[in-house]
Structure 1
Amino acid sequence: MQRWWFLEENAEGKDPSSSTSQKSEASAKKPKQSTAAGGDRPYTFRVLVTYELLKDETVAITGSCDALGNWDPEQCVQLRPENGGDSTIWRLETELPRDASVKYRYLICSVDPTSGNVHVRRFETHIVPRQVPIDLAEEEANGSKEKVQPKIDTLGDIDGNIKLDKGWLTTETIMQFKFFDNPFSVKERIKNRLLYVKITTMNLRINAESQNLSALLEESLSNDTRENGTESTTTYSFTEVTSLHNPNACYEQQSQFGCPYHKDDFLIFNVTVAEPENVAYLVDLYTYSSKSKEDEPPYHLGYHYILPNFLKKSEGILELPVTCASKHRPLGMMRIEYLKVTPLLPSRCTLERSYIRYWNKRWTGLDVGHRGSGTSFKASDGNVIRENTIASLKNAVAHGADMVEFDVQLSKDLVPVIYHDFDIYVSLKRKTTLETNDMLELPMRELTLEQLRNLKVYHVVEGRNREAKFFDEDLEEHQPFPQLAEALDQIDPHCGFNIEIKWSQKLKDGRMESDLNFDSNLYVDCILRVVLEKAANRRIVFSCFDADICTMLRLKQNLYPVMFLTLGVTSRYPSYHDPRCNSIEMAVRNAYATELLGIVAHTEDLLRDQTQVNLATERGLIIFCWGDDNNCKDTIKHLKSLGIHAIIYDKMDIYSDKAVKESVFLVGARDSQAALLQQINIENRYEHTNQHEFLNDKDVRLSLDKYDENEDSRENAITTTIEQGGHQFDLLIFTQRWPITACYEWRETGKDHICGLPTPSTVWTIHGIWPTKLNTIGPAFCNKSAIFDVSQLTPIEPQLEEHWVNVEKNKPDDSLWEHEWLKHGTCAAEAVEQLNTESKYFGQGLSWLEQHSVGDAFARNGDIKPGFNYSLTTLNKALYDYYGKNVAIECFFDRKTHQQFLNEVRICFDKQLQPVDCDGIVGLERIELPNSRIGTVISNCNAGKPIFYPDAVPSQDQEKEDGVMNETIYEIFDGKTDVEVILV
């Protein structure tokens, strides 16, 4: 099943090279045996491929079971074209576990015919992957054995959301060749002609059947009438090129006569090879004759061979002669800058998920702490914390930073540490005062981590001024040079990291910022290994001023997004040699072509021309901004109004205007909790596990992290169970909540949470009207272009403020109304005319509260009052007797006291707004009622424990009670008294 069909052909002798056949046979993959306890089921995958596949490319699938390779790229399974090789429909018939749903993705990959290694060319990157639901035994249920024609997916497209991104390096290498700064110096007669550049790979592997090396290099493979390469010299490779002269630059296959180089252009070739040590590169130049006809092709002007021994370093500059193609004489010179990107080994990335270009559209105007709590050596006041320390990072988090930005570089012993400057000062003498000759300036890279920690080290500013600024370094968290691993371990995991990779660049005047002696591949690999090992579910964005480092970060992993830091047009800092960093326009083109998440622009440049924001956003790129100009409340507010996604600034405690000092990612995780618990209940139905015990604190945290990692915390909070259902629904769930419990729940789920109760507080209020499909969840956010207009609610706003209350203090009531309308109301509006406007939707809620108040139900049937414990049986009987329908009862579980509190009651209506039973809704289960004449109830409450109906919010210092108590609850049925003794 996992045997690659074109390798099988080689193994069967269809390839004339016996050695290749043997290698292909060795690289063929054996199918794994299924370990599903419930057996397997046949399943057919079919996918429409609208992309043009290149030679050696094929379509494959990977997924969450053995049969699909468990997300391992090396174990992905190839599909075959239907009805021959020209079909656009690809197919795989396989067997999947019968008792489990299977998630899967499609990809375009290639297989190295020599080693059999799989290389991911492009892959689907939707946050929620495709899913095959649990088998429902359709043939048996229908009493028919007719085979159902499988549905056809579209490669890269899930419900109109197209995401098919470039892959990452698994075992292959990318050689990048850059032509910029007018790199050609040729004879006068042709210097003004437009030159076309083409790069062709050549196989230098020598075997018994190949030519000798000298003969191979003597033959120019390019001419003006035929394609490059022969069977003996071509190699397994892919060559793509882009020109940043094009505003919509993207990598494409080069044409027969190459890509034109315009004046001041920036031409980039990416050549993917499996064995870089055995590959040479032929650079051909073409141009048109001054007397050429309109349909006449360009002629071959010159060429040069680049041998692999020229490319041993990770980066470099080649000054090469151009040899005349006809006379084989020197024609001029060309300058090529190259970059070699090698894979991160061993590979830690899978196809399970990728955030490489993911950004929730609700994440705008984020507050990012610059070097933690700000630059400490520019500040004029003394009330600062040393920059880039654990203390500085924690202080920013405590004051509401959504992310913290800091600089990472390597010590001499290759440990990633957090520090900004390339150089440091070391004290030579133990004196209380610093004199001119007491300080030695050293590159930070020349000291090991132990030396950095043990020596008396000063910042460059301290060294030059001979004045120490900080005296709290005896405190561990204030120590300079914290390890990146320590920050990942010690900083609140809900705070995102913007990790800037420090790398020395060449300036426009030819000087280097610093003489780094690290290999760039080794440098990036050391940092990535720590992040991939330690980051867990933290939101991370990499950034760097060096475009080549950004390219490496993008190609070496597929998990974390990368942003290109730009200097822009400025007089404050010297310009770089690489023009991609010197303007927002070039930065945007490079980021778009390289498939980065976006750019980090210099605010000085943005304020000079605000329309440049559109250069990024119109191409779907995310834009952050940095600079001293950001250290102003008015500027921060203005930048947020421009739609900047994140602003990096100093002193979060002074400039942040957040009312609640929390990261947006923490808020998002909390908002996802209800949907997560519903999904857990759905999944547990098939595992027959106990639904009635609440998850402990650790379980909830881990589950929320997992959920937040896989799904958008707001828009994708509805799980994949509704993906196939569209916007259809069966019921409307009218949810009333007890504000005292809601207030307590809000307070207990966050240390800084403050709740606000309505007046009076002992009345049931409205939570929402939720369209729901039976046996699943949702739909939700049915109209993503909808805008909440609170002015429509003006006539009923006083009633809403009293009865549709937001218990989260410091948040306006209309924030809850906006959420309910956008998430639920937009779906109800599509199918129910009586709910198709905001005023109708919220007005219906008020009407239902008046007609179907839970407080009235409790008062008229059982005299149930706040301040007492009741059994689930008692509560359910009172509600059923009043409404005449099965309702749902939801509890909140207090982990400190092990009590359960009455929280919500849900009443169901059909689309004609008539009451119906809530049977068939999920998230709450139909459970047995012990020792009761009423058999079952829809609830998440524990039927074996009392439910407290609180009359006041418990105090914060309430402690867990030790021991076990018996509580006797009396219930009266038909004039008889039943007694239940419940363990508390």
Structure 2
Amino acid sequence: MATEQRCTLYFTVKVDNICASEYVYVTGSIPELGEWIPSKALKLVQSKQASEEWTGSIEVGSAPVQFRYFICYFLESGKPSSPKEIVISKWETFLYPRLVLPAVESICGKCRAHVVDTFGHNAGKDLVSDGWLCTENQNEILLRIRGTPFNFFKERYSTRLYAIKVSPFDLRHREAGSIEEDDPEDIQDSYNLPTLPSYSNTYLAILSNDDDPFYHEQLPYGKKFNVEEDYFVFRTRTVAVQFLGFWIELFTVNDEAKTNTPERFATAYALPASFPNTFGECTIPLLSKTNRPVGQLLVDYLVVKPLLKPHPQQTMALSYTRHWKKRKTLEVGHRGMGNSYTKVAAGRENTIQSLNAAAEKGADFVEFDVQLSKDKIPVIFHDFHVLISVAKRSSSTVNLSSKESSSDFHEMAVKDLKLKQLQLLRLDHLNATSELSRQVGLLKVTDDLDGEVTERSPFPTLVEALRKVDSSVGFNVEVKYPMMQKNGLHECENYFEHNEYLDLILSEVLTYAGDRRIVFSSFDPDICILLAAKQNKYPVLFLCVGVTTRYEPFVDVRASTSNAAVNLAASIGILGVNFHSEDLLRDPAPLHRANAFGLISFVWGDDLDNKAHKDYFKNVLLVDGVIYDRIGEVERRRNVFLVEREAKSALFRKTISPSTSRTVCLEDTNSLSDNSASSSSNISPTHSPRINSSVLSPITPPPHICRQMSNGM
């Protein structure tokens, strides 16, 4: 047997704007590159000749090698026997990784010796994403300062302009600039301190800045805060939350004296370990330079934990988080075949039967709502509350002429009922007792004659949907989470903790989704933030109500307007925004802003029941997806993914002969399955060059690439 020829494979990548504590790695499809696991990747070395270039090399055989570059840094918790942890800053998220063919490209035992890649750019595309929380000890801390956060004890302080800066520090270290004398006990404990930091730099995003809502490094003297206008978000990652502190500085701003150095006016300290929850508000004292209290600062906070429930290992092999294949507008079945509790419908909404019916009618995706039951099982249901029918106590006499019902309805939250109770109790919609419901004959949540659980029954579990609904139809999984409304009412108080709630849903999707197309969405901005930070596979859309007269608006300013929704989506690097039709029909400008930021746009709303409105969004505004009721009932349609698959198969039957090289098959498949740029680029991709079959023996694409070619978003 002939010995496989081996060669040296070189990697050189140009990276701009890298921090001093960051490193560049390459991971890929072979063991030498870690098989897509970041912690096992190959570390590159910074070039002495060109500091922006990072280089490395490995010995490989003749088989194809796929790879991606990523930027990372390391943190250390300081716990005994706890290793340093890799934290991913940025990574390349092209649908198709970089590809090298050593059997063809090797010259005199060297491959890619003079090739210089550019980080985040490949085959005409530019696509880089933030890293996810890839180890169980990593946490992301967000501090939000917004609106009117200052409460000064003296009126004259309230009229000044201030710049804000937030700096992280480790409570085990003496604070830089401290005037306190060293504590002998601190010196004795110094051997326990980690050699690396336990936290990252703190970056600032100004969501109120329509031109630049992205995260950036902070300025030495902070950023000016405009009271009642600005929304500042400070972001830090840490592997030791219990030892993390934030030093918040307020500098006086004098716009007329721009050459003068700003003067520190007050400071405050925030300790995440002292926060009562992982989400909320806290008021912290502002101290003058002489440590006298001068006021208070109101801070919102969110603690993002990694995905801790069982799930398949997340690697860098494949990511759809920022990928979107440009095509005609996708059509999405709202709750399957449509709303059935406040509109007339042929079948009950959010059931297996309704979802499959939409698939049979040609829906490209189906949208449904997911929340948890009391026993923490993800179930599909839209409303946070239901009416429970409770039999009245019988009296000693019976009035046969009375029309009064023999039962009463009591409102209960879905979260307070176990799955078995949801499936067996007589339940009704909140509007069931209204006169309109009686006149029109709207469907009940459960029928009086319901017995065993069937595909027509309400409250199917998420796992049932993933297993029983036609796999050709994609899922738009709306993650429900209650929010405070402007009328002072909360949608559902005392709800589950954000992280555990979302972990239970993500665990099931990552475990059971298989090759199904998945898009997450939520009206809650923080759920969108968690979805982006906890997993690296599926895209996320921020659901937006915007300016509306139909629904009670939310208090959260990030969800108050469509423009604010665009800023949030751009800031946290998710796929896009799911706009409300009512708002875009009034003013489509937010959609154009979303396009300018490279975001994908979906539209939902009752206006889409009108065909003229639906055609306007599809053919004039050219949105990427429309979500509406009763899909396929008025106009016959077919699932676009099935149509594309059939066209691809027909093309192969016409063009491929038995003697054709598999290499040609790989090339043609790539050109068909990804014939447009991703969501962040309008440049058409460059196809792989044709390779002479006489030079290269047939190549079989790796299994996950075969799945990509047939299941691109």
Length-normalised TM-score, structure 2? 0.84
How far off its partner does 1:216 sit?
9.5
Question: Could you say what the CA RMSD is over the residues aligned between the two structures, in angstroms?
Answer: 3.6
- Are the equivalent residues in 1 in contact too, given 2:132–2:533 (CA < 8 A)? yes
- Per-residue CA deviations over 1:43-68 (Å, capped at 9, x if unaligned) read 2111111x211232110000000000
Match for residue 196 of structure 1?
A: 163
Q: Which residue of 1 aligns with 2:430?
A: 460
CA contact (8 A) 1:412 1:448 kept: yes
- Following the alignment from structure 1 to structure 2, what is the Cα–Cα distance between the partners of residues 593 and 670? 38
Structure 1: runs of 5+ lacking an equivalent: 1-35, 220-229, 692-702, 718-724, 730-772, 777-918, 926-984
1:653 to partner: Cα distance: 3.3
Q: Which runs of structure 2 are paired with 1:119-158 in the superposition (5 Å)? A: 119-136=87-104, 138=106, 149-158=113-122
Per the alignment, residue 118 of structure 1 pairs with 86
Deviation at 1:295, TM superposition (A): 1.3
Q: Distance in 2 between matches of 1:232 and 1:147?
A: 38
Structure 1 counterpart SS, 2:410: strand
Matches within 5 A, 1:144-293: 149-171=113-135, 172-186=138-152, 187-205=154-172, 235-247=198-210, 248-263=212-227, 264-289=229-254, 293=257
Q: How far apart, in 2, do the equivalents of 1:374 and 1:510 lie?
A: 30
Given the alignment, which residue of 641, 647, 650 partners 1:671?
Answer: 647
* Closer, same or farther: CA 573–652 of 1 in aligned 2, 3 Å: same
Report whether the alignment pairs 1:426 with 2:388.
yes
Aligned-partner SS, 2:201:
strand
Change in 2 beyond 3 A, CA 1:147/1:498: closer
Between the aligned partners of 1:448 and 1:711, the Cα distance in structure 2 is: 49
Q: What is the identity, as a one-letter code, of the residue corresponding to 2:391?
A: K
Q: How does 1:873-952 map to 2 (within 5 A)?
A: none
**Which aligned pairs between 1:299-314 and structure 2 lie closer than 5 A?**
299-314=263-278
Aligned residue in 2 for 1:392: 354
Separation in 1 of the partners of 2:286 and 2:430? 46
Matches within 5 A, 1:620-699: 620-641=598-619, 642-655=621-634, 657-658=635-636, 661-673=637-649
CA 1:204/1:609 → structure 2, altered by over 3 Å: closer, same or farther?
same
C-alpha distance in 1, partners of 2:257/2:592? Answer: 42
> How many residues in Structure 1 have an aligned counterpart in Structure 2?
650
Contact 2:199/2:244 (CA < 8 Å) preserved in 1? no
Structure 2 CA distance for aligned equivalents of residues 588 and 573 of structure 1: 20
Distance in 2, matches of 1:504 and 1:75, equals: 40
Q: Distance in 1 between matches of 2:485 and 2:526?
A: 15
Tell me the distance in 1 between the aligned counterparts of 2:295 and 2:414.
Answer: 42
Cross-structure match for 2:400 = none
The residue number in structure 2 matching 1:354 is 319
Pair 619,137 (structure 1): closer, same or farther in 2 beyond 3 Å: closer
Q: Which residue of 2 aligns with 1:376?
A: 340
When residues 163 and 434 of structure 1 are mapped into structure 2, their CA distance, relative to the original with a 3 A threshold, is farther
Q: State the 1:327 CA deviation.
A: 2.6
Residue among 550, 563, 580 paired with 1:585: 563
Q: CA deviation at 1:80?
A: 0.4
SS of corresponding position for 1:238: coil
SS in structure 1 of the partner of residue 432 of structure 2: helix
Matched, 1:99 2:59: no
Contact 1:366 1:402 in 2 (8 A): yes
Give the 5 Å matches for 1:63-82: 63-82=28-47
Change (3 A) 1:121 1:921: closer
Name the CA shift for 1:218/1:169 in 2 (closer, same or farther; >3 Å): farther
Q: What's the CA shift for 1:135?
A: 2.5
- What stretches of structure 2 of length at least 5 have no aligned partner? 78-82, 183-192, 395-402, 678-684, 701-713
Judged with a 3 Å threshold, the aligned counterparts in structure 2 of structure 1 residues 727 and 601 are, in CA distance, closer, same or farther, namely closer
- Cα distance, 1:239–1:924 mapped onto 2, change above 3 Å: closer
Q: How many Å separate the matches in 2 of 1:37 and 1:442?
A: 71
Given the alignment, which residue of 14, 26, 45 partners 2:11? 45
Q: After superposition, where does 1:852-891 map in structure 2 within 5 Å?
A: none
* 1:580–1:716 Cα change, 3 Å: closer
Choose from 715, 724, 734 the match for 2:675: 715
Q: In the alignment, is the contact (CA less than 8 A) between 1:107 and 1:123 conserved in 2? A: yes
Normalized per residue, the structure richer in helix is 1
Inter-partner Cα distance in structure 2 for 1:631 and 1:526:
34
Letter in 2 for 1:182: T
Provide the rounded CA distance (Å) in 2 between the counterparts of 1:164 and 1:626: 28
Give the Å deviation of 1:100: 1.1
- Of 352, 357, 364, 1:402 maps to 364
- Partners of 2:638 and 2:117 lie apart in 1 by 41
Give, in whole Å, the separation in 2 of the partners of 1:494 and 1:664: 10
Q: Tell me: CA distance 1:525–1:122, structure 2 relative to 1, closer, same or farther (3 Å).
A: same
Q: Which amino acid aligns with 1:101?
A: P
Q: 2:692 aligns with which of 746, 771, 775?
A: 775
CA contact (8 A) 1:81 1:90 kept: yes
Match of 2:298 among 330, 335, 338: 335
- How far residue 684 of structure 1 moved from its aligned partner, in angstroms, is 8.2
Q: CA, structure 1 residues 923+428, in 2 after alignment: closer, same or farther (shift >3 Å)?
A: same
Contact 1:322-1:334 within 8 A present in 2 as well: yes
| Cα deviation code 1:739-760 (max 9, x no counterpart) | xxxxxxxxxxxxxxxxxxxxxx
Alpha-carbon distance between aligned partners in 1 of 2:471 and 2:335, rounded to the nearest angstrom: 17
CA–CA distance in structure 2, aligned partners of residues 146 and 403 of structure 1: 47
Cα drift, residue 353 of structure 1: 1.2
Tell me how far apart the structure 1 counterparts of residues 657 and 130 of structure 2 sit (CA, whole Å).
Answer: 33
Distance in 1, Cα, partners of 2:233 & 2:546: 21
Q: Secondary structure at the match of 1:476?
A: coil
Q: Structure 1: how far apart are the matches of 2:574 and 2:369?
A: 19
Of 514, 526, 547, which residue of structure 2 is paired with 1:536? 514
- Residue among 524, 544, 549 paired with 2:527: 549
1:134 deviates by 3.5
Determine which structure has more spread, i.e. the larger CA radius of gyration.
1
Alpha-carbon shift at residue 436 of structure 1 (Å): 7.3
Q: Are 1:401 and 1:652, in contact at CA under 8 Å, matched by a contact in 2?
A: yes
Contact 2:369–2:479 under 8 Å retained in 1: yes
Contact residue 424 and residue 441 of structure 1 kept, 8 A:
yes
- Residue 921 (structure 1) shift: 12
Q: Please, which of 480, 503, 506 is the counterpart of residue 481 of structure 2?
A: 503
The equivalent residue for 2:26 is 61
Residues 321-341 of structure 1 show CA distances to partners (whole Å, capped at 9, x for unaligned) of: 2111x2322212221111110
Q: Per-residue CA shift, 1:916-969, capped at 9, x if unaligned?
A: xxx9999999xxxxxxxxxxxxxxxxxxxxxxxxxxxxxxxxxxxxxxxxxxxx
SS of match in other structure, 1:135: helix
Query: What is the CA distance between 1:679 and its match in structure 2?
Result: 10
Q: Is the 8 A contact 2:7 2:102 kept in 1?
A: no
Matched-pair contact (CA < 8 Å) for 1:201–1:234:
no
1:110 and 1:519 mapped to 2: Cα distance? 30
Tell me the equivalent position of 1:482.
460
Contact 1:289 1:299 in 2 (8 A): no
Shift, 1:234, TM fit: 6.4
Shift of residue 312 of structure 1?
4.8
Q: How far off is 1:159 after superposition?
A: 3.0
The answer on whether the counterparts of 2:466 and 2:513 sit within 8 Å (CA) in structure 1 is: yes
When residues 679 and 197 of structure 1 are mapped into structure 2, their CA distance, relative to the original with a 3 A threshold, is farther
Deviations 1:397-435 (A, max 9, x none): 111111111110001111110001111122223999983
- Between the aligned partners of 1:460 and 1:57, the Cα distance in structure 2 is 54
Is 1:108–1:121's contact at 8 Å kept on the other side of the alignment? yes
Superposition deviation, residue 280 in structure 1: 1.2
Give the match's secondary structure for 1:461: coil
Q: Which amino acid aligns with 1:578?
A: D
Q: Is the alpha carbon distance of 1:398 and 1:40 closer, same or farther for their aligned partners in structure 2, counting shifts above 3 Å?
A: same
Q: Is the 8 A contact 2:27 2:68 kept in 1?
A: yes
Determine helix, strand or coil for the equivalent of 2:202. Answer: strand
Question: Structure 1 pair 113/650, CA: closer, same or farther in 2 (3 Å)?
Answer: same
| Cα distance between partner residues in 2 of 1:39 and 1:217 | 66
The residue aligned with 2:505 is 527
Q: Per chain length, whose mean CA-contact separation is higher, i.e. which structure has more relative contact order (CA < 8 Å, sep 6+)?
A: 2
